């Protein structure tokens, strides 16, 4: 189990991670989702002891990484697939890692087979494609047969067959009871791979819940309603009638209305009684990708001037996503599992708490409330409302 508690990392004036508290449990694939620059890699580096938290702490199996006995046998990680001596063959690269950690040579050949590189094991890795490099990085992570695995964007550069392979590998590793923590900026990928999701935006926790719960909460049904083109008064009349009946109509880019809060037959009856003709009345589900983008829209660092997401900037019917908290933006009502900055969140294990690797049921007692962020360290994102918080 990985446990982060009030984890904060600043690089000079830049706050990369702010007051993150979460647990990553064994036996499941936990997706770590966030837009580019949201702090995923920084968090992973802190878990692996490669970066020191400015405040807070993170443990693996109850120990700080640097205090873990025989760490390479307990934790495997793919952070940067390019961090390989290109002049060495894939096999020699793995051999050198194995020798450093006292791992037997036969394990090198085993993992080469697991990742499908057995045929090219003697080739220099500098000739490898991006996908082959990812496979080699995954082989290195698996070398010590660890119980805890971290993968930073493992499907980068992989073709569809490779993506499917990684997806199945993650699931298999989790089904063997391992802790699998995998970052991505793609909701669509995580929805197919992960059991649990931790979503961050600008370094702050935005959601911590099972994928099923995320789907249930965010697969909002809505109706698309279109009135005849060139008759704007028809749409205005319908909008008023729907609002009066408790619906939330929102204009879509193509002239249709997106209506939540009313079932389709009721919309049809209301239109009929108002004498409004309909050209379209169809049921829809908001996609998970859309829900995720709405959740993180306020925390995207880099955006094109011609941005498809602009359409998502408008407030969705019924307001922000239930429980959505934009960093530095509008507070909503917390989602179950979502941490609102300043709200009580699970703390580290108390004496007599879980032993390393032991799974804690969600919401189990025995956790101390976290300390509030230090007085001298105000939430750096509080300034974001009026502009760039960086």
Q: Rank residues 4 and 316 by Cβ distance to ligand ATP and give the closer one.
A: 4
Q: How far is the CB of 47 from ligand ATP (least distance, A)?
A: 12
Q: Rank residues 37 and 346 by Cβ distance to ligand ATP and give the closer one.
A: 37
For the window 160-199, what string marks contact with ligand ATP as x by the rule CB under 6 A? -------------------------x--------------
Could you tell me where the DSSP H helices lie in 51-104?
Answer: 71-74, 90-101
Q: Where are the beta strands (DSSP E) in 211-291?
A: 221-226, 248-251, 257-260, 280-285
Please identify, among the stretches 33-41, 64-72, 232-240, 310-318, the one whose residues bind ligand ATP according to the rule CB under 6 A: 33-41
> If phi over 0 gives left and psi between -120 and 50 gives alpha, with beta otherwise, what is residue 152?
beta
Q: Which of 1, 2, 7, 16 binds ligand ATP (CB under 6 A)?
A: 16
Q: Rank residues 153 and 290 by Cβ distance to ligand ATP and give the closer one.
A: 153
Distance separating alpha carbons of residues 123 and 81, to the nearest angstrom: 16
Strand partners, 257: 225, 251
Helical (H) or strand (E) element with 7: strand 2-11
Q: Which of 38, 193, 296, 338 binds ligand ATP (CB under 6 A)?
A: 38
Please identify, among the stretches 38-46, 119-127, 248-256, 280-288, the one whose residues bind ligand ATP according to the rule CB under 6 A: 38-46
Q: Does 82 bind ligand ATP (CB under 6 A)?
A: no
Q: Rank residues 13 and 100 by Cβ distance to ligand ATP and give the closer one.
A: 13
Q: How far is the CB of 100 from ligand ATP (least distance, A)?
A: 25
Q: How far is the CB of 80 from ligand ATP (least distance, A)?
A: 10
Q: Does 324 bind ligand ATP (CB under 6 A)?
A: no
* The dihedral sign for the CA sequence 37, 41, 42, 44: positive
Closest CA to 296 of 312, 279, 282, 317: 312
Q: Rank residues 38 and 74 by Cβ distance to ligand ATP and give the closer one.
A: 38
CA distances from 158 to 133, 164, 314 (A): 10, 9, 34
| Close Cβ partners of 183 (under 8 Å, ≥ 6 residues apart) | 31, 32, 33, 34, 40, 41, 44, 151, 152, 153
Q: Which of 26, 37, 354, 373 binds ligand ATP (CB under 6 A)?
A: 37
Tell me which residue has tokens 């939430």.
379
Q: Per 3-state DSSP, what percentage of the chain is helix, strand, and coil (rounded to 5)?
A: 35, 20, 45
Q: Does 8 bind ligand ATP (CB under 6 A)?
A: no
Q: Where are the beta strands (DSSP E) in 99-220?
A: 148-152, 179-184, 196-201, 204-210
Q: Rank residues 37 and 370 by Cβ distance to ligand ATP and give the closer one.
A: 37
Note the Cα 358 to chain centre separation in Å.
23
For the window 326-365, what string marks contact with ligand ATP as x by the rule CB under 6 A? ----------------------------------------
Please identify, among the stretches 9-17, 206-214, 286-294, 330-338, the one whose residues bind ligand ATP according to the rule CB under 6 A: 9-17
Q: Rank residues 42 and 134 by Cβ distance to ligand ATP and give the closer one.
A: 42
Per CB under 6 A, contacts with ligand ATP among 39-58 are: 39-42
Specify whether the CB–CB gap between 327 and 204 falls below 8 A. yes
Residues touching ligand ATP, count (CB under 6 A):
12
CA distances from 36 to 150, 238, 308, 329 (A): 18, 41, 16, 19
| Close Cβ partners of 296 (under 8 Å, ≥ 6 residues apart) | 34, 35, 38, 199, 201, 206
Q: How far is the CB of 154 from ligand ATP (least distance, A)?
A: 12
Q: Does 14 bind ligand ATP (CB under 6 A)?
A: yes
End-to-end Cα spacing for the chain: 32
Q: How far is the CB of 77 from ligand ATP (least distance, A)?
A: 14
Please identify, among the stretches 31-39, 207-215, 238-246, 275-283, the one whose residues bind ligand ATP according to the rule CB under 6 A: 31-39
* Contact residues: ligand ATP, CB under 6 A: 11, 14, 16, 34, 36-42, 185
């Amino acid at each position: 189990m990985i446990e982060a508690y009030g984890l904060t990392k600043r690089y000079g004036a830049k706050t990369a991670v702010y007051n993150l508290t979460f647990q990553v449990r064994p036996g499941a694939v936990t997706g770590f989702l966030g837009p580019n620059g949201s702090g995923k890699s920084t968090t992973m580096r802190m878990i692996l002891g490669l970066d020191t938290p400015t405040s807070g702490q993170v443990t693996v199996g109850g120990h700080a990484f640097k205090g873990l006995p025989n760490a390479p046998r307990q934790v495997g990680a793919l952070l940067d697939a390019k961090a390989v001596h290109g002049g060495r063959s894939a096999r020699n690269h793995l051999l050198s890692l194995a020798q450093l950690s006292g791992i037997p040579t036969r394990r090198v050949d085993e993992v080469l087979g697991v990742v499908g590189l057995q045929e090219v094991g003697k080739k220099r890795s500098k000739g490898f494609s991006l996908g082959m490099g990812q496979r080699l990085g995954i082989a290195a992570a698996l070398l010590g047969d660890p119980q805890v695995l971290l993968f930073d964007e493992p499907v980068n550069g992989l073709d569809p067959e490779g993506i499917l392979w990684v997806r199945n590998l993650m699931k298999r590793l989790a089904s063997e009871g391992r802790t699998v923590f995998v970052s991505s900026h793609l909701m669509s990928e995580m929805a197919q791979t992960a059991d649990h999701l931790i979503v961050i935006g600008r370094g702050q926790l935005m959601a911590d819940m099972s994928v099923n719960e995320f789907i249930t909460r965010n697969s909002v049904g809505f109706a698309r309603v279109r009135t005849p083109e060139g008759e704007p008064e028809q749409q205005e009349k319908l909008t008023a009638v729907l609002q009066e009946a408790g619906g939330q109509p929102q204009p879509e880019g193509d002239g249709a209305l997106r209506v939540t809060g009313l079932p389709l037959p009721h919309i049809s009856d209301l239109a009929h009684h108002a004498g409004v003709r309909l050209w379209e009345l169809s049921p829809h589900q908001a996609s998970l990708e859309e829900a995720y983008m709405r959740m993180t829209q306020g925390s995207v660092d880099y955006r094109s001037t011609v941005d498809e997401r602009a359409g998502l900037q408008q407030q969705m019917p019924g307001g922000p996503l239930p429980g959505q908290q934009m960093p530095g933006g509008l507070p909503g009502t917390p989602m179950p599992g979502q941490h609102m900055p300043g709200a009580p969140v699970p703390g580290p294990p108390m004496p007599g708490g879980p032993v390393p690797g032991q799974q804690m049921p969600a919401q189990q007692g025995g956790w101390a409330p976290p300390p509030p962020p230090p007085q001298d360290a105000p939430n750096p994102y509080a300034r974001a409302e009026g502009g760039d918080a960086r």
